Structure 1
Protein backbone atom coordinates (compact mmCIF):
# COMPACT_ATOMS: atom_id res chain seq x y z
CA UNK A 1 0.00 0.00 0.00
CA UNK A 2 2.62 2.42 1.07
CA UNK A 3 4.85 1.37 -1.81
CA UNK A 4 1.97 1.85 -4.23
CA UNK A 5 1.22 5.21 -2.70
CA UNK A 6 4.85 6.13 -3.08
CA UNK A 7 4.76 5.12 -6.73
CA UNK A 8 1.61 7.14 -7.27
CA UNK A 9 3.16 10.11 -5.52
CA UNK A 10 6.17 9.83 -7.81
CA UNK A 11 3.94 9.95 -10.87
CA UNK A 12 2.19 13.03 -9.55
CA UNK A 13 5.54 14.66 -8.93
CA UNK A 14 6.71 14.00 -12.46
CA UNK A 15 3.41 15.30 -13.81
CA UNK A 16 3.73 18.48 -11.77
CA UNK A 17 7.30 19.03 -13.04
CA UNK A 18 6.08 18.62 -16.65
CA UNK A 19 3.38 21.26 -16.12
CA UNK A 20 5.92 23.63 -14.59
CA UNK A 21 8.20 23.11 -17.66
CA UNK A 22 5.39 24.06 -20.05
CA UNK A 23 4.60 27.20 -18.08
CA UNK A 24 8.25 28.18 -18.10
CA UNK A 25 8.62 28.23 -21.96
CA UNK A 26 5.20 29.56 -22.97
CA UNK A 27 6.52 33.14 -23.12
CA UNK A 28 8.62 32.19 -26.16
CA UNK A 29 5.49 31.59 -28.19
CA UNK A 30 4.01 34.92 -27.16
CA UNK A 31 7.31 36.69 -27.84
CA UNK A 32 7.53 35.14 -31.31
CA UNK A 33 3.97 36.18 -32.13
CA UNK A 34 4.63 39.69 -30.90
CA UNK A 35 7.79 40.03 -33.02
CA UNK A 36 5.93 38.80 -36.09
CA UNK A 37 3.16 41.33 -35.54
CA UNK A 38 5.69 44.10 -35.02
CA UNK A 39 7.49 43.19 -38.24
CA UNK A 40 4.19 43.26 -40.15
CA UNK A 41 3.32 46.58 -38.54
CA UNK A 42 6.63 48.16 -39.55
CA UNK A 43 6.30 46.84 -43.08
CA UNK A 44 2.84 48.40 -43.36
CA UNK A 45 4.11 51.68 -41.92
CA UNK A 46 7.06 51.65 -44.32
CA UNK A 47 4.78 51.11 -47.30
CA UNK A 48 2.47 53.88 -46.12
CA UNK A 49 5.41 56.21 -45.57
CA UNK A 50 6.48 55.75 -49.22
CA UNK A 51 3.04 56.79 -50.41
CA UNK A 52 2.93 59.78 -48.08
CA UNK A 53 6.46 60.74 -48.98
CA UNK A 54 5.62 60.97 -52.67
CA UNK A 55 2.46 62.96 -51.99
CA UNK A 56 4.21 65.34 -49.62
CA UNK A 57 7.04 65.98 -52.09
CA UNK A 58 4.70 66.61 -55.00
CA UNK A 59 2.39 68.77 -52.94
CA UNK A 60 5.37 70.70 -51.61
CA UNK A 61 6.54 71.42 -55.16
CA UNK A 62 3.03 72.44 -56.11
CA UNK A 63 2.70 74.86 -53.20
CA UNK A 64 6.15 76.28 -53.80
CA UNK A 65 5.33 76.98 -57.45
CA UNK A 66 1.92 78.41 -56.60
CA UNK A 67 3.20 80.77 -53.90
CA UNK A 68 6.67 81.40 -55.33
CA UNK A 69 8.45 80.37 -52.14
CA UNK A 70 10.29 77.43 -50.64
CA UNK A 71 8.90 77.88 -47.13
CA UNK A 72 5.75 75.79 -47.63
CA UNK A 73 5.98 72.41 -45.87
CA UNK A 74 9.40 73.46 -44.58
CA UNK A 75 9.12 70.92 -41.77
CA UNK A 76 9.65 67.99 -44.13
CA UNK A 77 12.44 65.73 -43.05
CA UNK A 78 15.76 65.47 -44.84
CA UNK A 79 14.75 62.03 -46.07
CA UNK A 80 11.81 63.53 -47.96
CA UNK A 81 13.92 66.35 -49.32
CA UNK A 82 16.64 64.01 -50.52
CA UNK A 83 14.06 61.85 -52.26
CA UNK A 84 12.54 64.71 -54.25
CA UNK A 85 14.72 64.02 -57.27
CA UNK A 86 13.73 60.36 -57.25
CA UNK A 87 10.05 61.21 -57.12
CA UNK A 88 10.34 63.53 -60.13
CA UNK A 89 10.58 60.54 -62.45
CA UNK A 90 7.25 58.99 -61.44
CA UNK A 91 4.86 58.62 -64.36
CA UNK A 92 1.87 60.40 -62.89
CA UNK A 93 -0.08 60.30 -66.13
CA UNK A 94 0.06 56.51 -66.19
CA UNK A 95 -0.89 56.27 -62.52
CA UNK A 96 2.02 53.97 -61.84
CA UNK A 97 3.60 53.63 -58.42
CA UNK A 98 2.57 55.47 -55.26
CA UNK A 99 1.64 58.66 -57.13
CA UNK A 100 -1.12 56.75 -58.91
CA UNK A 101 -2.99 56.62 -55.59
CA UNK A 102 -3.37 60.40 -55.39
CA UNK A 103 -6.77 62.00 -55.50
CA UNK A 104 -7.95 63.91 -58.57
CA UNK A 105 -7.43 67.24 -56.83
CA UNK A 106 -3.88 66.27 -55.92
CA UNK A 107 -3.19 65.18 -59.49
CA UNK A 108 -4.56 68.48 -60.78
CA UNK A 109 -2.34 70.37 -58.36
CA UNK A 110 0.71 68.38 -59.41
CA UNK A 111 -0.09 68.92 -63.10
CA UNK A 112 -0.36 72.65 -62.48
CA UNK A 113 2.91 72.60 -60.58
CA UNK A 114 4.68 70.76 -63.39
CA UNK A 115 3.36 73.28 -65.93
CA UNK A 116 4.48 76.15 -63.73
CA UNK A 117 7.89 74.55 -63.29
CA UNK A 118 8.33 74.15 -67.04
CA UNK A 119 7.30 77.76 -67.58
CA UNK A 120 9.77 78.91 -64.92
CA UNK A 121 12.55 76.91 -66.58
CA UNK A 122 11.71 78.40 -69.99
CA UNK A 123 11.76 81.90 -68.52
CA UNK A 124 15.10 81.23 -66.84
CA UNK A 125 16.56 79.99 -70.14
CA UNK A 126 15.30 83.09 -71.94
CA UNK A 127 16.80 85.39 -69.30
CA UNK A 128 20.14 83.59 -69.63
CA UNK A 129 19.97 83.89 -73.43
CA UNK A 130 19.19 87.61 -73.20
CA UNK A 131 22.14 88.17 -70.87
CA UNK A 132 24.44 86.30 -73.27
CA UNK A 133 23.05 88.21 -76.26
CA UNK A 134 23.79 91.49 -74.43
CA UNK A 135 27.40 90.42 -73.84
CA UNK A 136 27.84 89.40 -77.47
CA UNK A 137 26.25 92.64 -78.67
CA UNK A 138 28.72 94.63 -76.57
CA UNK A 139 31.57 92.69 -78.17
CA UNK A 140 30.11 93.44 -81.60
CA UNK A 141 29.98 97.18 -80.83
CA UNK A 142 33.64 97.19 -79.80
CA UNK A 143 34.72 95.33 -82.94
CA UNK A 144 32.64 97.64 -85.12
CA UNK A 145 34.22 100.71 -83.53
CA UNK A 146 37.73 99.29 -84.04
CA UNK A 147 37.00 98.54 -87.71
CA UNK A 148 35.57 102.01 -88.20
CA UNK A 149 38.75 103.57 -86.83
CA UNK A 150 40.69 101.77 -89.57
CA UNK A 151 38.02 102.56 -92.18
CA UNK A 152 37.31 98.83 -92.58
CA UNK A 153 33.71 98.72 -91.36
CA UNK A 154 32.49 97.51 -94.75
CA UNK A 155 34.71 94.42 -94.74
CA UNK A 156 32.91 92.57 -91.94
CA UNK A 157 29.32 91.76 -91.05
CA UNK A 158 27.82 90.45 -87.84
CA UNK A 159 25.10 88.07 -86.73
CA UNK A 160 24.10 86.31 -83.52
CA UNK A 161 22.89 82.75 -84.03
CA UNK A 162 22.64 79.66 -81.85
CA UNK A 163 26.44 79.33 -81.90
CA UNK A 164 27.17 82.83 -80.63
CA UNK A 165 28.51 85.99 -82.31
CA UNK A 166 29.49 85.41 -85.94
CA UNK A 167 31.93 87.87 -87.51
CA UNK A 168 31.88 87.26 -91.28
CA UNK A 169 34.86 88.47 -93.30
CA UNK A 170 34.48 88.21 -97.06
CA UNK A 171 37.72 86.70 -98.33
CA UNK A 172 37.58 87.52 -102.10
CA UNK A 173 40.70 89.46 -103.06
CA UNK A 174 40.71 91.52 -99.85
CA UNK A 175 41.85 88.82 -97.44
CA UNK A 176 43.05 85.97 -99.67
CA UNK A 177 43.82 85.73 -103.35
CA UNK A 178 42.37 82.91 -105.38
CA UNK A 179 43.54 79.39 -104.52
CA UNK A 180 45.65 80.82 -101.68
CA UNK A 181 45.62 80.71 -97.88
CA UNK A 182 48.15 83.51 -97.39
CA UNK A 183 46.69 86.51 -95.58
CA UNK A 184 47.00 89.76 -97.52
CA UNK A 185 47.94 93.02 -95.71
CA UNK A 186 44.32 94.21 -95.71
CA UNK A 187 43.23 90.92 -94.15
CA UNK A 188 45.84 91.38 -91.44
CA UNK A 189 44.52 94.89 -90.71
CA UNK A 190 41.00 93.49 -90.32
CA UNK A 191 42.24 90.90 -87.83
CA UNK A 192 44.29 93.56 -86.02
CA UNK A 193 41.03 95.41 -85.41
CA UNK A 194 39.08 92.29 -84.37
CA UNK A 195 41.77 90.66 -82.22
CA UNK A 196 41.91 92.93 -79.13
CA UNK A 197 38.21 92.45 -78.34
CA UNK A 198 38.43 88.69 -78.87
CA UNK A 199 41.48 88.45 -76.62
CA UNK A 200 39.70 89.70 -73.49
CA UNK A 201 36.53 87.64 -74.00
CA UNK A 202 36.20 84.42 -71.96
CA UNK A 203 34.57 82.54 -74.86
CA UNK A 204 36.20 79.97 -77.08
CA UNK A 205 36.57 80.88 -80.76
CA UNK A 206 35.93 78.87 -83.90
CA UNK A 207 37.20 80.03 -87.28
CA UNK A 208 35.28 78.56 -90.23
CA UNK A 209 36.60 78.64 -93.78
CA UNK A 210 34.14 78.62 -96.70
CA UNK A 211 34.59 78.59 -100.47
CA UNK A 212 32.01 79.36 -103.13
CA UNK A 213 30.27 76.74 -105.23
CA UNK A 214 32.04 77.38 -108.54
CA UNK A 215 33.45 74.11 -109.96
CA UNK A 216 36.92 75.62 -110.36
CA UNK A 217 39.73 73.10 -109.78
CA UNK A 218 42.31 74.03 -107.16
CA UNK A 219 45.99 73.95 -108.01
CA UNK A 220 47.74 74.44 -104.69
CA UNK A 221 45.32 72.21 -102.74
CA UNK A 222 43.74 68.83 -103.51
CA UNK A 223 40.22 70.22 -103.12
CA UNK A 224 38.16 73.07 -101.71
CA UNK A 225 38.07 71.21 -98.38
CA UNK A 226 41.82 71.65 -97.86
CA UNK A 227 41.70 75.25 -99.17
CA UNK A 228 38.92 76.31 -96.79
CA UNK A 229 40.64 74.61 -93.84
CA UNK A 230 43.99 76.22 -94.69
CA UNK A 231 42.39 79.67 -94.76
CA UNK A 232 40.73 79.08 -91.38
CA UNK A 233 44.06 77.86 -89.98
CA UNK A 234 45.86 80.96 -91.30
CA UNK A 235 43.39 83.18 -89.42
CA UNK A 236 43.83 81.13 -86.22
CA UNK A 237 47.61 81.42 -86.44
CA UNK A 238 47.42 85.18 -86.90
CA UNK A 239 45.00 85.60 -83.98
CA UNK A 240 47.34 83.51 -81.86
CA UNK A 241 50.16 85.97 -82.67
CA UNK A 242 47.84 88.75 -81.45
CA UNK A 243 47.78 87.11 -78.01
CA UNK A 244 44.72 84.85 -78.18
CA UNK A 245 45.53 81.49 -76.55
CA UNK A 246 45.72 78.60 -78.94
CA UNK A 247 43.68 76.31 -76.71
CA UNK A 248 40.73 78.71 -77.06
CA UNK A 249 40.58 78.38 -80.83
CA UNK A 250 39.88 75.80 -83.52
CA UNK A 251 39.93 75.93 -87.31
CA UNK A 252 37.26 74.22 -89.43
CA UNK A 253 36.88 73.98 -93.20
CA UNK A 254 33.47 73.58 -94.86
CA UNK A 255 34.40 74.01 -98.54
CA UNK A 256 31.18 75.09 -100.29
CA UNK A 257 28.74 73.03 -98.22
CA UNK A 258 27.34 75.94 -96.17
CA UNK A 259 26.55 78.82 -98.54
CA UNK A 260 25.62 82.13 -96.97
CA UNK A 261 23.22 82.89 -99.82
CA UNK A 262 21.78 80.71 -102.57
CA UNK A 263 24.27 79.76 -105.31
CA UNK A 264 21.64 80.91 -107.85
CA UNK A 265 22.19 84.48 -106.63
CA UNK A 266 24.87 86.23 -108.72
CA UNK A 267 26.36 87.70 -105.52
CA UNK A 268 27.00 84.23 -104.12
CA UNK A 269 30.34 83.95 -105.94
CA UNK A 270 31.83 86.67 -103.78
CA UNK A 271 29.80 86.48 -100.57
CA UNK A 272 29.93 82.70 -100.04
CA UNK A 273 33.74 82.83 -100.24
CA UNK A 274 34.38 83.92 -96.68
CA UNK A 275 35.90 83.31 -93.27
CA UNK A 276 33.69 83.35 -90.18
CA UNK A 277 35.06 84.06 -86.72
CA UNK A 278 32.55 82.63 -84.26
CA UNK A 279 32.61 83.73 -80.61
CA UNK A 280 31.13 80.55 -79.16
CA UNK A 281 28.48 80.73 -76.46
CA UNK A 282 28.99 78.40 -73.50
CA UNK A 283 25.26 78.13 -72.78
CA UNK A 284 23.55 74.69 -72.91
CA UNK A 285 22.04 73.76 -76.26
CA UNK A 286 18.44 74.28 -75.12
CA UNK A 287 19.37 77.82 -74.05
CA UNK A 288 21.76 78.83 -76.85
CA UNK A 289 19.02 78.00 -79.35
CA UNK A 290 17.18 81.05 -77.95
CA UNK A 291 20.07 83.43 -78.74
CA UNK A 292 18.69 84.65 -82.13
CA UNK A 293 15.35 85.59 -80.55
CA UNK A 294 17.08 87.12 -77.54
CA UNK A 295 19.32 89.19 -79.81
CA UNK A 296 16.27 90.63 -81.56
CA UNK A 297 14.72 91.70 -78.26
CA UNK A 298 17.94 93.40 -77.13
Structure 2
Protein backbone atom coordinates (compact mmCIF):
# COMPACT_ATOMS: atom_id res chain seq x y z
CA UNK A 1 0.00 0.00 0.00
CA UNK A 2 1.37 3.44 -0.93
CA UNK A 3 2.00 6.31 1.47
CA UNK A 4 -1.05 8.13 0.05
CA UNK A 5 -3.31 5.20 0.78
CA UNK A 6 -1.95 4.99 4.34
CA UNK A 7 -2.59 8.72 4.90
CA UNK A 8 -6.11 8.48 3.53
CA UNK A 9 -6.86 5.45 5.65
CA UNK A 10 -5.55 7.26 8.75
CA UNK A 11 -7.74 10.30 8.11
CA UNK A 12 -10.76 8.07 7.62
CA UNK A 13 -10.12 6.22 10.87
CA UNK A 14 -9.74 9.46 12.85
CA UNK A 15 -12.88 10.93 11.32
CA UNK A 16 -14.78 7.77 12.19
CA UNK A 17 -13.57 7.90 15.78
CA UNK A 18 -14.54 11.58 16.14
CA UNK A 19 -17.85 10.98 14.34
CA UNK A 20 -17.00 13.70 11.77
CA UNK A 21 -18.55 13.11 8.36
CA UNK A 22 -15.84 12.85 5.78
CA UNK A 23 -16.45 14.68 2.49
CA UNK A 24 -14.46 14.35 -0.68
CA UNK A 25 -13.93 17.38 -2.88
CA UNK A 26 -14.35 16.87 -6.57
CA UNK A 27 -13.31 18.82 -9.62
CA UNK A 28 -17.01 19.73 -10.16
CA UNK A 29 -16.99 21.74 -6.91
CA UNK A 30 -13.68 23.50 -7.51
CA UNK A 31 -15.43 26.38 -9.38
CA UNK A 32 -17.00 27.44 -6.05
CA UNK A 33 -13.61 28.43 -4.70
CA UNK A 34 -12.94 30.66 -7.70
CA UNK A 35 -16.46 32.13 -7.47
CA UNK A 36 -16.04 32.96 -3.77
CA UNK A 37 -12.66 34.58 -4.48
CA UNK A 38 -14.25 36.81 -7.12
CA UNK A 39 -17.13 37.80 -4.79
CA UNK A 40 -14.64 38.60 -2.02
CA UNK A 41 -12.58 40.81 -4.34
CA UNK A 42 -15.70 42.65 -5.53
CA UNK A 43 -16.80 43.22 -1.93
CA UNK A 44 -13.40 44.64 -1.00
CA UNK A 45 -13.45 46.89 -4.08
CA UNK A 46 -16.90 48.30 -3.20
CA UNK A 47 -15.83 48.94 0.41
CA UNK A 48 -12.75 50.85 -0.79
CA UNK A 49 -14.84 52.89 -3.28
CA UNK A 50 -17.38 53.72 -0.57
CA UNK A 51 -14.65 54.84 1.81
CA UNK A 52 -13.07 57.08 -0.85
CA UNK A 53 -16.42 58.69 -1.72
CA UNK A 54 -16.96 59.79 1.88
CA UNK A 55 -19.85 57.50 2.71
CA UNK A 56 -23.54 57.59 1.77
CA UNK A 57 -24.95 61.04 0.99
CA UNK A 58 -27.76 60.60 3.50
CA UNK A 59 -25.38 60.20 6.43
CA UNK A 60 -24.39 63.46 8.12
CA UNK A 61 -20.73 64.11 8.81
CA UNK A 62 -20.21 64.57 12.53
CA UNK A 63 -17.18 66.69 11.77
CA UNK A 64 -19.29 69.24 9.88
CA UNK A 65 -19.22 72.72 11.42
CA UNK A 66 -22.52 73.67 12.99
CA UNK A 67 -24.04 76.89 11.65
CA UNK A 68 -25.78 79.34 13.98
CA UNK A 69 -29.57 79.30 14.09
CA UNK A 70 -31.26 81.57 11.57
CA UNK A 71 -34.52 83.44 11.77
CA UNK A 72 -37.14 81.43 9.95
CA UNK A 73 -38.83 83.47 7.22
CA UNK A 74 -42.57 83.80 7.19
CA UNK A 75 -44.27 81.95 4.34
CA UNK A 76 -45.94 84.87 2.57
CA UNK A 77 -44.71 84.75 -1.02
CA UNK A 78 -44.90 88.56 -1.18
CA UNK A 79 -41.49 89.10 -2.76
CA UNK A 80 -40.57 85.86 -4.47
CA UNK A 81 -41.36 87.22 -7.94
CA UNK A 82 -40.95 90.97 -7.55
CA UNK A 83 -37.34 90.96 -6.34
CA UNK A 84 -35.85 89.20 -9.35
CA UNK A 85 -34.52 91.56 -12.02
CA UNK A 86 -32.40 90.84 -15.09
CA UNK A 87 -28.75 91.82 -14.86
CA UNK A 88 -28.00 95.17 -16.49
CA UNK A 89 -31.57 96.46 -16.19
CA UNK A 90 -32.36 100.06 -15.22
CA UNK A 91 -33.64 99.09 -11.71
CA UNK A 92 -30.46 97.07 -11.13
CA UNK A 93 -28.29 100.00 -12.24
CA UNK A 94 -30.24 102.39 -9.99
CA UNK A 95 -29.88 99.92 -7.08
CA UNK A 96 -26.11 99.83 -7.62
CA UNK A 97 -25.94 103.65 -7.48
CA UNK A 98 -28.07 103.62 -4.33
CA UNK A 99 -25.81 101.08 -2.63
CA UNK A 100 -22.73 103.14 -3.49
CA UNK A 101 -24.36 106.30 -2.10
CA UNK A 102 -25.39 104.59 1.13
CA UNK A 103 -21.99 102.95 1.56
CA UNK A 104 -20.32 106.36 1.22
CA UNK A 105 -22.64 107.71 3.93
CA UNK A 106 -21.87 104.75 6.20
CA UNK A 107 -25.42 103.38 5.94
CA UNK A 108 -24.73 100.25 3.93
CA UNK A 109 -25.67 98.02 6.87
CA UNK A 110 -28.73 100.02 7.96
CA UNK A 111 -30.69 100.35 4.71
CA UNK A 112 -31.30 97.32 2.51
CA UNK A 113 -31.56 98.01 -1.24
CA UNK A 114 -33.65 95.53 -3.21
CA UNK A 115 -34.01 95.84 -7.01
CA UNK A 116 -37.39 94.84 -8.41
CA UNK A 117 -38.82 94.28 -11.87
CA UNK A 118 -40.00 97.87 -12.27
CA UNK A 119 -38.12 99.74 -9.57
CA UNK A 120 -36.22 99.58 -6.28
CA UNK A 121 -37.22 98.96 -2.67
CA UNK A 122 -35.43 100.43 0.35
CA UNK A 123 -35.98 98.64 3.66
CA UNK A 124 -35.22 100.35 6.98
CA UNK A 125 -35.82 99.07 10.52
CA UNK A 126 -38.38 100.96 12.59
CA UNK A 127 -36.01 100.65 15.54
CA UNK A 128 -33.67 103.08 13.73
CA UNK A 129 -36.33 105.52 12.55
CA UNK A 130 -38.72 105.67 15.54
CA UNK A 131 -38.88 105.17 19.26
CA UNK A 132 -40.97 102.32 20.64
CA UNK A 133 -44.66 102.99 19.99
CA UNK A 134 -43.87 106.39 18.44
CA UNK A 135 -44.46 107.89 14.99
CA UNK A 136 -42.12 110.89 15.31
CA UNK A 137 -38.87 110.41 13.40
CA UNK A 138 -35.74 110.23 15.54
CA UNK A 139 -32.69 112.36 14.78
CA UNK A 140 -30.87 109.31 13.45
CA UNK A 141 -33.92 108.40 11.38
CA UNK A 142 -34.02 111.84 9.76
CA UNK A 143 -30.30 111.59 8.97
CA UNK A 144 -30.73 108.24 7.28
CA UNK A 145 -33.71 109.33 5.21
CA UNK A 146 -31.99 112.54 4.09
CA UNK A 147 -29.33 110.40 2.42
CA UNK A 148 -32.06 109.01 0.14
CA UNK A 149 -33.19 112.45 -1.07
CA UNK A 150 -30.57 112.81 -3.86
CA UNK A 151 -31.61 109.39 -5.17
CA UNK A 152 -35.28 110.38 -5.19
CA UNK A 153 -34.51 113.67 -6.93
CA UNK A 154 -32.44 111.82 -9.56
CA UNK A 155 -35.34 109.60 -10.64
CA UNK A 156 -38.92 109.78 -11.88
CA UNK A 157 -40.16 106.84 -9.83
CA UNK A 158 -43.43 106.94 -7.94
CA UNK A 159 -42.58 106.79 -4.22
CA UNK A 160 -44.68 104.68 -1.87
CA UNK A 161 -43.81 104.66 1.83
CA UNK A 162 -45.15 101.54 3.54
CA UNK A 163 -45.24 101.17 7.33
CA UNK A 164 -45.09 97.70 8.93
CA UNK A 165 -45.32 96.53 12.56
CA UNK A 166 -44.91 93.25 14.38
CA UNK A 167 -47.88 91.25 15.68
CA UNK A 168 -47.78 92.57 19.26
CA UNK A 169 -50.94 94.69 19.75
CA UNK A 170 -50.79 98.35 20.70
CA UNK A 171 -53.62 100.34 22.27
CA UNK A 172 -52.97 103.96 23.22
CA UNK A 173 -55.03 107.13 23.01
CA UNK A 174 -53.26 108.07 19.77
CA UNK A 175 -52.82 104.60 18.26
CA UNK A 176 -55.75 102.27 19.02
CA UNK A 177 -54.11 99.53 16.94
CA UNK A 178 -51.12 98.75 14.75
CA UNK A 179 -53.05 100.05 11.73
CA UNK A 180 -52.89 103.61 13.02
CA UNK A 181 -49.26 103.24 14.15
CA UNK A 182 -47.99 101.90 10.81
CA UNK A 183 -49.96 104.53 8.85
CA UNK A 184 -48.69 107.38 11.04
CA UNK A 185 -45.08 106.26 10.62
CA UNK A 186 -45.46 106.08 6.84
CA UNK A 187 -47.02 109.56 6.91
CA UNK A 188 -44.06 110.98 8.88
CA UNK A 189 -41.63 109.78 6.21
CA UNK A 190 -43.82 111.15 3.39
CA UNK A 191 -43.96 114.57 5.08
CA UNK A 192 -40.18 114.61 5.40
CA UNK A 193 -39.80 113.88 1.67
CA UNK A 194 -42.41 116.49 0.75
CA UNK A 195 -40.74 119.17 2.88
CA UNK A 196 -37.43 118.30 1.20
CA UNK A 197 -38.86 119.03 -2.25
CA UNK A 198 -40.10 115.67 -3.58
CA UNK A 199 -43.22 116.48 -5.69
CA UNK A 200 -46.50 115.62 -3.97
CA UNK A 201 -47.80 113.79 -7.04
CA UNK A 202 -45.00 111.24 -6.64
CA UNK A 203 -45.72 110.44 -2.98
CA UNK A 204 -48.15 108.16 -1.21
CA UNK A 205 -48.27 106.51 2.24
CA UNK A 206 -49.65 103.13 3.26
CA UNK A 207 -49.92 101.34 6.61
CA UNK A 208 -49.98 97.52 6.62
CA UNK A 209 -49.80 96.88 10.39
CA UNK A 210 -48.61 93.25 10.86
CA UNK A 211 -50.28 91.81 7.75
CA UNK A 212 -47.10 91.42 5.68
CA UNK A 213 -44.42 89.87 7.90
CA UNK A 214 -41.04 88.94 6.47
CA UNK A 215 -40.24 86.62 9.40
CA UNK A 216 -42.12 84.69 12.03
CA UNK A 217 -43.47 86.79 14.88
CA UNK A 218 -42.92 84.18 17.60
CA UNK A 219 -39.33 85.32 18.30
CA UNK A 220 -37.94 88.72 19.29
CA UNK A 221 -35.53 88.68 16.36
CA UNK A 222 -38.35 87.97 13.94
CA UNK A 223 -40.54 90.73 15.37
CA UNK A 224 -37.64 93.18 15.19
CA UNK A 225 -37.13 92.40 11.50
CA UNK A 226 -40.85 92.81 10.81
CA UNK A 227 -40.95 96.32 12.33
CA UNK A 228 -39.84 98.30 9.30
CA UNK A 229 -40.51 101.08 6.81
CA UNK A 230 -40.20 100.28 3.12
CA UNK A 231 -39.71 103.00 0.53
CA UNK A 232 -40.83 101.57 -2.78
CA UNK A 233 -39.81 103.26 -6.04
CA UNK A 234 -41.72 101.98 -9.05
CA UNK A 235 -43.55 102.98 -12.21
CA UNK A 236 -43.88 106.47 -13.62
CA UNK A 237 -44.94 109.55 -11.63
CA UNK A 238 -48.62 110.41 -11.48
CA UNK A 239 -49.78 113.17 -13.79
TM superposition score normalised by structure 2? 0.58
Aligned with 1:267 (options 186, 209, 221): 221
2:171 is aligned with 1:217: yes
TM-superposed deviation, 1:206? 0.5
Please say if residues 207 and 232 of structure 1, whose CA atoms lie closer than 8 Å, have aligned partners that are also in contact.
yes
Aligned with 2:113 (options 145, 158, 177): 158
| Counterpart position of 2:187 | 233
2:84 is aligned with 1:140: no
Q: Look up the SS of the partner of 2:136 in the other structure.
A: coil
**Aligned CA-pair RMSD:** 2.2
Query: What CA deviation, in whole Å up to 9, does each residue of 1:103-137 have, x standing for no partner?
Result: xxxxxxxxxxxxxxxxxxxxxxxxxx967972112
Equivalent residues in 2 for 1:200-215, closer than 5 Å: 200-215=154-169
The alpha-carbon distance between structure 1 residues 204 and 132, as it changes in their structure 2 partners (threshold 3 A), is farther
Q: 2: distance between equivalents of 1:130 and 1:163?
A: 8
Equivalent residues in 2 for 1:3-14, closer than 5 Å: none
2:95 is aligned with 1:149: no
Query: What CA deviation, in whole Å up to 9, does each residue of 1:230-271 have, x standing for no partner?
Result: 110111111112221011010000001101112234422211
Q: 1: distance between equivalents of 2:98 and 2:85?
A: 20
Q: Which has the higher helix share?
A: 1
Q: 2: distance between equivalents of 1:188 and 1:145?
A: 19
2:140 is aligned with 1:198: no
Please say if residues 180 and 220 of structure 1, whose CA atoms lie closer than 8 Å, have aligned partners that are also in contact.
no
Q: Aligned pairs, how many?
A: 153
Q: Look up the SS of the partner of 1:182 in the other structure.
A: coil
Q: 2: distance between equivalents of 1:130 and 1:169?
A: 21
The alpha-carbon distance between structure 1 residues 159 and 133, as it changes in their structure 2 partners (threshold 3 A), is farther
TM-superposed deviation, 1:212? 0.7
Please say if residues 163 and 280 of structure 1, whose CA atoms lie closer than 8 Å, have aligned partners that are also in contact.
yes
2:86 is aligned with 1:170: no
Q: Look up the SS of the partner of 1:167 in the other structure.
A: strand
Note the residue ranges of structure 1 that are not aligned, 5 or more in a row: 1-128, 283-298
Q: 2: distance between equivalents of 1:132 and 1:239?
A: 30
Q: 2: distance between equivalents of 1:154 and 1:130?
A: 22
Please say if residues 163 and 278 of structure 1, whose CA atoms lie closer than 8 Å, have aligned partners that are also in contact.
no
Q: 2: distance between equivalents of 1:196 and 1:224?
A: 31
The alpha-carbon distance between structure 1 residues 177 and 281, as it changes in their structure 2 partners (threshold 3 A), is same
TM-superposed deviation, 1:145? 2.0
